[in-house]
Structure 1
Amino acid sequence: MRKVEVFSHNKNWKRMFSEEARKLKTIFGNEIVHIYHIGSTSVPELKAKPIIDILPVVGNIHIVDNHNEEMKNIGYESKGENGIPGRRYFQKGGDKRTHHVHIYQLGNYEIKRHLAFRDYLLVHPEVKKRYGQLKGRLAVKFPNDVESYISGKEQLVKEIEAKALEWYKGEE
């Protein structure tokens, strides 16, 4: 069973992202157009589950499937689209997850959504604080129920996301 634990920001998360990004670049080479650190571990001073979320962008999403074995060799489990059309999703660490890799093809809307959310939190400290406090409360309330933890964040995430996407239009 996955335990829900939320921690204060850890400066090592940036290094962990960089190390894993290098491994992904070795596997996918020039197929990677961009690679981003996303999710809560990418936002300094934000409480987070200690799972590094990585978003590589590729020119052709179908090429990714040719690398499932190489991903397995560095500890990842392929989950296919895992509910989001056009994505290739990988998890590392089993029930004690350490990394999530969300690969999208250049131009996919999900890239913008993730970057807008991250960047909005980076420049809106009051929203970041509110989000972090909610995550902390939910982790205490639902330490053994990841689904309830996620659903407890859903309304605020949607609210932040809508504001972030509107804001991001002016930042592009």
Structure 2
Amino acid sequence: MLQYLEPIIVPDRVPFWPPQPGWYVIAIILLGLAILGVKKWLAYKRKNEYRIWALQELQKIDVKEADIRQIVLLNKLLKATALQGFPRTEVAELYGTEWMQFLEKTYPKTRFTEAPGIFLEGASYRRKRSINIKDEDWMEIMRISGEWIKGHKINRS
């Protein structure tokens, strides 16, 4: 009986290349998604570049020396950061309580209108060049300023 059996005919292997047309479509879609993803990532990076700059400048402010010059520097840094992210007409004229309220409005997790954030209010306009601020209050001001730089929300319509 075995002598009457024919050998099994094995089909040729399916070649790896060239792929079928469906694979070209999938490759084009994946390439398009990758390009779109890179573009979005670069746009996000470019849009938030000012935050990185501001955080680097924040590191340059002396944490151990809480004098009026350091407070003014911090206030200028916050204003410069806000001017990068918000329209000039919305930010440039703000000072004092309105400025502190703006900072809180754009990132509600910070408290600039309460102690110790209140030290920033009007620091540039004080006649007295010395200020009595505790080290822990200064550290808290620096912390909430860093939080604001990282987390403020820009409402662009």
Relative to total residues, which structure has the larger helix share, 1 or 2? 2
Structure-1-length-normalised TM-score: 0.23
Higher-Rg member (1/2)? 2
Q: Which has the higher strand share?
A: 1
